[in-house]
Structure 1
Amino acid sequence: MTKPAQIETLSSELSGQYREAAEEYAQLALTNDGAEQAAYQLKAAQMYWQSGQVEQSQQSLEQIKLSLLHPSRRYEAAILGANIALFNSDGERALKALSNVQEKDLAAQNLKSVLKLQADAYTLTGNWLEKANTHLKLEKILTDADALKNNREALWQALMQMTPQALDLFNPGYPPAEDSGWFALAYNIKAYQDNPEVLAVALEDWKRSYPNHPADPALYQKTLASGTHIPKDINNIAVLLPHSGPFVEAAKIIKDAIIAAQYVSGSTAQLHFYDIETDAISGQNNVLTQYDAAVAEGASVVIGPLQKSSVETLATHPDLSVPVLALNRTDDEQTYKNLYQFGLAPEDEAVAVATYAKQLGYKRSIVLAPSNDWGQRITSAFTTQWRKEGGSTLIVSNYNEAENDFRDTLIPLMGLNESEQRYKSLQGTLGRSLDFEPRRREGVDFLFLVARPLKARQLVPQLKYHRSGQLPLLATSHVYSGQADPQQNIDLNDLVISDIPWVFEELASEDPVYQSLKNQSPENFTSAIRLYALGVDAYKLIPQLNTLSRDPTSSMEGATGSLSINALGHVTRKMRWGKFEQGELKLIK
């Protein structure tokens, strides 16, 4: 085998001055050719990467003619290319970079590096089968106890993302093969987790088929211990909703939605409604009494209550023997046995905007929100998640919802006052007038808008007037009433929002419950569509609770989004994204 081209190692690299080393290696590449030039280009790319200059590193890497590199350096180029791609959240490109590596020719340590990068790339692409297979390869070469433990946890999480059908179809072997045992164990958990009795028998069979298997019982015992145990055949569903007070209109909409969902499902289960009363003066409610009454009368599961204070009271119950799907959330971060909390929390949507912005490659944001508690809650949720995503918020500006002209807020937000100050300073220096067009703030990737429909329709045109230009505008669903009105909503043009699937006619039109409710209440259906969707999903979640409450990776496609249950027992929602064009909200596919 030929030796790699001999190139000098620069003192700037040895002393940790990577930026200087990168420039010097780049110059050396210009003064050499052939294998030496390719080797220096690789060194420049590596030094750019070390100094944090990712874009320059990628540019240098792309200049290299890989065929001129020695195999050992092709490996280095592949590793660097994969790291850059993963930094940019591009799993496909990372896998393409690694495809140039021949695994059979690698030393154990280098093979570990390649497999770990492949596993990360498969996570980004959502290819859970290949991710699992990659962790199985790592299992055979890892020797460190902690590394093995971490690898098995990652393997298990990948397997838990797969369907029972896929786990059975792609099982790589037969008992008692270790690889086969992982797939078989995951199949049992996924296929029978909503039927504890059958699962217990299946696990005993698995232990006999795969003796001495390395799977740690702790991996799956937590899944088995948690979650609900709702019987397969439900005869009695209790619904706790107020019949009077400030929440009565919302309660009526949710009640109608639950009844419609049950009718369309053809279920023979009985719905029993219990009135939740709250004293206007003391704030005391009867939710504990009504829950106990529902249990005594044979309820298998409880939907509700709706008010946050009632959910907080129910959370204090010493023994929630029957599972509850509450329609609101407590403010704490505690887990309560048999209490699952489902609602349309605005904070969830703010978190979704931050996650979406990260996926789009954005890094710097500005925020415009109302100066009230509601605006502060959403802003706080967004900025907290945005920091976790690695983003930065340059400025948060607040507006008064009582006003209609927001120029005093928008001019400094967009940095137009600074632009004008620079103009005046330059004019004073030159002593003559100049052509001047104010420029908005630079270095911003998007603006996060927190607003309700009326204010959103005022703010978006005013932002454009104040030079927002092509700056992307992202918002939560609160900017949109849900009613299609192109003439009124044309002021929202170019605004991108997250919203429930039912807001998009093309996603909802084939849902028989959607059609039933729309025909039943045509005059107020669209204005209350999100509450109708909440009630429908609350009913549809019941038969899925056993599975979802044990497996955070499982999901159900619902009217309010793709639904999962996290470790806190909160129902989380992944919604859809749309953009206003000619006054109409168009689904982003």
Structure 2
Amino acid sequence: MSDFKNIFIMPRHLITCWIFTLVFLTACTSEPVKNRDQAEVKARSQPRKPTAAAVKSYGLGGDQATQHLLSADTFYQAGDTQAAEKELDLINEAELSPDQRTKFNLLDAQILLSMGDAEQALQKLKIVRPVLLSTSDKINYYQSLAFANLLMGDVLQAVSARIRMGNLLQNPEQQQANIVAIIDMLSVLPEESLNQHPEVAGELKGWMVLAKILKQRGQPDVDINSQIQQWQYAFPGHAANAGFLQAYLATPLGENQAATADQATDSEQTTGMIAVLLPTSGAYAPAGKAIKEGLQAAYRLAASAAQQPLSLKFYDSAQDDIVSLYQQAVNEGARQIIGPLVKEQIQTLAANADLSVPVLALNHVENLSQNNLYQFGLSPLDESDALAVKAHQDGRQSALILVPSTAQGQRIGNYLTESWQGKGGIVAGMQSYDPRQHDIKLKFDQLISSSNYPSGQQPPRALFLSANEETARELAPQLKYHQNIALAVYAMPTIYSGRPNPTKDAELGLFSFCDVPWLFDGYYSGPLSQAALQNSWQTLPDSVTRLVALGVDAYNLIGKLDQLSSTPYSGATGKLSLNGENRITRKLVCAQFKGGVPVATGYAE
């Protein structure tokens, strides 16, 4: 495969175009992988001792290292990657045999992939010696190699890995699913990348020629059948045999993918499902739609990795009593529940329901605690704390606070005050403005003139601002007159719509803000990044686009809730951890406008 490295590198923002078509690839090993329901893992069991048959199947010796390897594999298959990682940590790599070291590196790579670290996983996979693996582990190896390359955007290397995996598959259905995956991956490459190259030969060349032919489906005046006949003559005995191609061409374009996606995300499976309580009607419907987009994208990516995830089943929380809806979902087989979104419904659920199934609520209600209830939202608590951390790191000692004269504005003012004083800072004054009266410049001047410093000296100051982008633009010219008094502006993320607008935001060069990593290149990349999911969020209102990232993280966290307090998770909405109140807290990325475009400066931590 090294001969093809870097010939065709696919931009990561295009990966999602085909990743959704791979939903049906949920089992590529010779035996079905058990459902990896991490939330179902309760108290940690002792590592099981390998049987003689199990040791023989791996070709390993019956020593302690083998026991740890088999225990790690058992935990990994059960979805408990944290326990699997701990088992690997108990192994001294220097004492491993070549067979053991190969198994160790494969497991390590699979664990890294489950955490989304494709780059490190690839480094591990490069030193795996597949010749030392059993057939089932060879399949796992090539499957992991394919998925890691997909996450890195290298489609051709991923296809090469799937070709090798296909030669190991014995089940006809799995062989056919692998063929479809290869065709779908190649189908989104630009046509110039599918042209014949001297570096590409053999079976891979046949796949590329076939993909180029199939890209013409649906085009007028194109004789697909004659081209297929010529292809079969040129590549006799190719894995994409005539029987498969006839069935593939007989299916209407796009029908398989759409049907499979609907079935996978909206139907209940016998193994249970994840119930999602979101509003699909009413005032909160746009927010519900954005979260659903993120959930479905994360689900489809998990399914494409052959993880056999639980299916998603959506319930309209705007139409029913939330307690009855919760009970209905439990009765219908929900193992985990995501939602509700509205604060009042979260309070009602906590007060009136016996939460036998864990709930990941998508908002935050203060002073609310209930067993099996976890709260996760884009809370201004985290945003206020991030601003305080950033200003403190920048050497600011006192702060002025300017917020809207609304109930939400007053809450944010209190959050900013508590966060800043918690860092040892001085609050020299707070002022409220009325967004409807456009009086923010007047209120800012009053705040400056009335600020109070106990020592009588004016230390380096911060202005903590809560405003939307339009109001921030009103204030920006006024701030230019105060540059000589060492005043730096730290704004809540509401000043940024989430879409760069250099013309209108050119005046915001004085403003820093802290926001979700999903918005910034280099901080959350891959097939679930903002660029990759642009088809999902571009038609949504600016006010809800960040909720796509919330949906992505909600799906990825639902199976890790019991681990999150000790093992933070780097997500689309921040570096996430669980506090003592079962609230998921977020560390955010800070940025400053330069030329009207936000430029990230790093995490506030």
- TM-score w.r.t. structure 2 length? 0.52
Letter in 2 for 1:585: P
Does residue 272 in structure 1 map to residue 313 in structure 2? yes
Contact 1:350 1:378 in 2 (8 A): yes
When the two structures are aligned, how many residues end up with a matched partner? 338
Contact 1:234 1:300 in 2 (8 A): no
Contact 1:458 1:491 in 2 (8 A): no
Q: What pairs with 1:428-447 in structure 2 (closer than 5 Å)?
A: 442-447=458-463
Letter in 2 for 1:480: Y
Q: What pairs with 1:311-326 in structure 2 (closer than 5 Å)?
A: 311-326=346-361
The structural deviation recorded for 1:350 is: 1.1
Find the partner of 2:336 among 301, 313, 325.
301
**What residue number does 1:258 align with?**
295
Find the partner of 1:573 among 547, 562, 586.
586
Contact 1:242 1:275 in 2 (8 A): yes
**Higher mean Cα deviation, 342-351 or 530-539?**
342-351
Does residue 411 in structure 1 map to residue 435 in structure 2? no
The whole-number CA distance in structure 1 between the counterparts of 2:405 and 2:530 is 36
The structural deviation recorded for 1:391 is: 1.2
Contact 1:504 1:587 in 2 (8 A): yes
Find the residue that maps to 1:484 and give its secondary structure.
Answer: coil
Measured at CA, do residues 271 and 499 of structure 1 come closer, stay the same or move farther in structure 2, by a change above 3 Å? same
Contact 1:304 1:325 in 2 (8 A): yes
The whole-number CA distance in structure 2 between the counterparts of 1:540 and 1:512 is 11
1:85-142: CA deviations, max 9, x gaps? xxxxxxxxxxxxxxxxxxxxxxxxxxxxxxxxxxxxxxxxxxxxxxxxxxxxxxxxxx
**What residue number does 1:482 align with?**
498
The whole-number CA distance in structure 2 between the counterparts of 1:290 and 1:575 is 34
**What residue number does 1:362 align with?**
396
The whole-number CA distance in structure 2 between the counterparts of 1:417 and 1:577 is 27
Letter in 2 for 1:244: S
The whole-number CA distance in structure 2 between the counterparts of 1:370 and 1:525 is 22
The structural deviation recorded for 1:303 is: 0.4
Contact 1:237 1:269 in 2 (8 A): yes
**What residue number does 2:577 align with?**
564
**What residue number does 2:473 align with?**
457
The whole-number CA distance in structure 1 between the counterparts of 2:541 and 2:86 is 38
Does residue 471 in structure 1 map to residue 484 in structure 2? no
The structural deviation recorded for 1:514 is: 3.9
The whole-number CA distance in structure 1 between the counterparts of 2:422 and 2:554 is 30
Find the partner of 1:498 among 499, 506, 514.
514
Letter in 2 for 1:546: D
**What residue number does 1:394 align with?**
428
Does residue 244 in structure 1 map to residue 287 in structure 2? no
1:236-265: CA deviations, max 9, x gaps? 110011222110111111112211110111
The whole-number CA distance in structure 1 between the counterparts of 2:515 and 2:444 is 26
Find the residue that maps to 2:415 and give its secondary structure.
Answer: helix
**What residue number does 2:550 align with?**
534
The whole-number CA distance in structure 2 between the counterparts of 1:165 and 1:453 is 50
Letter in 1 for 2:323: L
Letter in 2 for 1:243: T
1:328-364: CA deviations, max 9, x gaps? 12232x4311000111112321122223323333221
Contact 1:563 1:571 in 2 (8 A): yes
The whole-number CA distance in structure 1 between the counterparts of 2:325 and 2:450 is 58
Find the residue that maps to 1:274 and give its secondary structure.
Answer: strand
Find the partner of 1:380 among 414, 418, 438.
414
The structural deviation recorded for 1:545 is: 1.4
Contact 1:240 1:304 in 2 (8 A): yes
1:23-69: CA deviations, max 9, x gaps? xxxxxxxxxxxxxxxxxxxxxxxxxxxxxxxxxxxxxxxxxxxxxxx
1:123-175: CA deviations, max 9, x gaps? xxxxxxxxxxxxxxxxxxxxxxxxxxxxxxxxxxxxx9xx84896489xxxxx
Letter in 2 for 1:271: L
Find the residue that maps to 1:402 and give its secondary structure.
Answer: helix
Contact 1:237 1:270 in 2 (8 A): yes
Letter in 1 for 2:559: P
Find the residue that maps to 1:547 and give its secondary structure.
Answer: coil
Letter in 1 for 2:506: I
**What residue number does 1:351 align with?**
385
The structural deviation recorded for 1:235 is: 3.8
Letter in 1 for 2:321: N
Find the residue that maps to 1:546 and give its secondary structure.
Answer: coil
Measured at CA, do residues 166 and 292 of structure 1 come closer, stay the same or move farther in structure 2, by a change above 3 Å? same
Contact 2:323 2:353 in 1 (8 A): no
Give the gaps of 5 or more residues in structure 1: 1-159, 171-232, 279-284, 419-440
The whole-number CA distance in structure 2 between the counterparts of 1:258 and 1:376 is 32
Percent pairwise identity: 37
**What residue number does 1:342 align with?**
376
Letter in 2 for 1:270: S
Measured at CA, do residues 417 and 498 of structure 1 come closer, stay the same or move farther in structure 2, by a change above 3 Å? closer
The whole-number CA distance in structure 1 between the counterparts of 2:448 and 2:330 is 57
Question: Which structure is larger by alpha-carbon Rg, 1 or 2?
Answer: 1
Letter in 1 for 2:311: Q
The whole-number CA distance in structure 1 between the counterparts of 2:433 and 2:297 is 41
The whole-number CA distance in structure 2 between the counterparts of 1:407 and 1:520 is 37
Q: What pairs with 1:550-561 in structure 2 (closer than 5 Å)?
A: 552-561=565-574
Find the residue that maps to 2:505 and give its secondary structure.
Answer: helix
Letter in 2 for 1:313: T
The whole-number CA distance in structure 2 between the counterparts of 1:250 and 1:539 is 16
Find the partner of 2:326 among 291, 295, 301.
291
The structural deviation recorded for 1:507 is: 2.6
Contact 2:273 2:333 in 1 (8 A): yes
Measured at CA, do residues 305 and 407 of structure 1 come closer, stay the same or move farther in structure 2, by a change above 3 Å? closer
The whole-number CA distance in structure 2 between the counterparts of 1:353 and 1:165 is 39
1:171-219: CA deviations, max 9, x gaps? xxxxxxxxxxxxxxxxxxxxxxxxxxxxxxxxxxxxxxxxxxxxxxxxx
Contact 2:524 2:571 in 1 (8 A): no
Contact 1:386 1:392 in 2 (8 A): yes
Measured at CA, do residues 289 and 579 of structure 1 come closer, stay the same or move farther in structure 2, by a change above 3 Å? same
The structural deviation recorded for 1:417 is: 11
Give the gaps of 5 or more residues in structure 2: 1-81, 93-269
- TM-score w.r.t. structure 1 length? 0.53
User: What is the Cα-based RMSD across aligned positions, in Å?
Assistant: 3.0
The whole-number CA distance in structure 2 between the counterparts of 1:320 and 1:417 is 49
Contact 2:590 2:600 in 1 (8 A): yes
Find the residue that maps to 1:294 and give its secondary structure.
Answer: helix
Letter in 1 for 2:316: D
**What residue number does 1:152 align with?**
none
Find the residue that maps to 2:283 and give its secondary structure.
Answer: coil
The whole-number CA distance in structure 1 between the counterparts of 2:390 and 2:88 is 29
Contact 1:518 1:525 in 2 (8 A): no
The whole-number CA distance in structure 2 between the counterparts of 1:467 and 1:303 is 47
Contact 1:261 1:513 in 2 (8 A): no
The whole-number CA distance in structure 2 between the counterparts of 1:397 and 1:417 is 10
1:432-488: CA deviations, max 9, x gaps? xxxxxxxxx932421111111110111122122355654211112111111101111
